[in-house]
Amino acid sequence: MNARPRLLYLITEDWYFWSHRLDLARAAAQAGFDVSIATRVTDHGGRIVQEGFRLLPIRLFRRSRNPLAECAAIVELVKLYRRERPAIVHHVALKPILYGSFAAWCSGVPIVVNAFAGLGYLFADDASRGRLSRACLRLALRALLRLSRSIVVFQNRDDRDLLIRENVVTLEQTRIIPGSGVDATAFDIRPPAVDGPIVMLASRMLWDKGIGDFLETVRRLKRDNVAPRFVLVGRRDEHNPAAIRLEQLQRWVDEGLVEWWGHCDDMPATLALATIVVLPSYREGLPKVLLEAAACGKPLVATDVPGCREIVRHGVTGLLVPPRDPAALAAAIDSLLRDSSLRTTMGVAGRETVIREFSVEKVTSQVIRLYRDLLAGHKRGCQETEPA
């Protein structure tokens, strides 16, 4: 094996790699891995190359349902893996897990790490129209995860236990590593830099982030004369089936319900403006924005669902409310707006929790240790099968 084992990350979007896996890739390179990034290039390709990583552009679209395009994407990955011959492939999120696992099996990639960033909108949707899709997805995942003999990484126990119950994975093939970590040195506790309170929801503009519930909450609070500034921060994600249409976002802005700041690169400065950070999502892996907000000393209000409850400890770092319950969300926001002392106490507790449990150093060291253990195990396995 080479002195620098080749490690290939497969991630659908370059912006997602940049926001959620850059620190891990940097740590892997510093640990002696030859790092490549296979992703759809939009606006971060130059930055990735400047970091010293090998960039491998691909045409994998998350929202595509065209059978010919999907087959072409799988063939492209098979050719890519056969050409690059990585020692480890690390697939992030559902579609890369499905297609990448098949390509890795076809190409003989020795070590496959499949990392769920959450279980996605299919698992968050309880409507009957999602049941058939979930059943088909469950069967495909079970087959491909076992075919590729991958290690499956979850960000929280709820997601892991669900897929164990549904016989998709076994306990032995899973690991729990909490998200991608936060650089606590980049975030600090600062008082809001503007006059008046701001209640901020920062996420991609998706229905299953609970943004519709947040808007109903805003209407309730405004009717009760609770009138901070309500702010949405985040990009539209047109390749996600749960994307909110631009026209809808603009209507909310025109009604005077919310401000929409769009995508913000400087999250430490953006979150510093908030009084309270809210995420009424229906399901998460481990939302990085809540970790970042906690690192900024912001009190949190989130739904009591997988992922959110990992960082929001009710009454300690924030408040948890039932999902799809605007009345409960409004009451929680109102209670924090009225109690500055509680906001401060929760903010301090949140930052301490991030430093203790979710620092980027702690999380990336767990992943690098996993890589090294898998490489060592593969090497031993090869030696044991060599003829005497």
pLDDT tens track for 306-365: 999 999 999 999 999 999 999 999 999 999 999 999 999 999 999 999 999 999 999 999
pLDDT computed for residue 128 by the predictor: 47
Q: What is the pTM of this model?
A: 0.90
Distances (CA, A) of 382 to 82, 120, 375: 20, 37, 11
Query: Where do the domains of the chain lie, and which CATH numbers do they carry?
Result: 6-178+360-385 (3.40.50.2000), 184-357 (3.40.50.2000)
Q: What is the DSSP letter of 163?
A: H
- Mean pLDDT value across the chain: 92
Helix H or strand E encompassing 340 = helix 340-357
| Mean pLDDT calculated for residue range 88-94 | 96
**pLDDT at res. 241:** 82
The string of DSSP codes covering 262-327 is ---S-HHHHHHT-SEEEE--S--S--HHHHHHHHTT--EEEESSTTHHHH--BTTTEEEE-TT-HH
- Confidence at 63, pLDDT banded by 50, 70, 90: low
Per-residue pLDDT tens for 4-46?
999 999 999 999 999 999 999 999 999 999 999 999 999 899 9
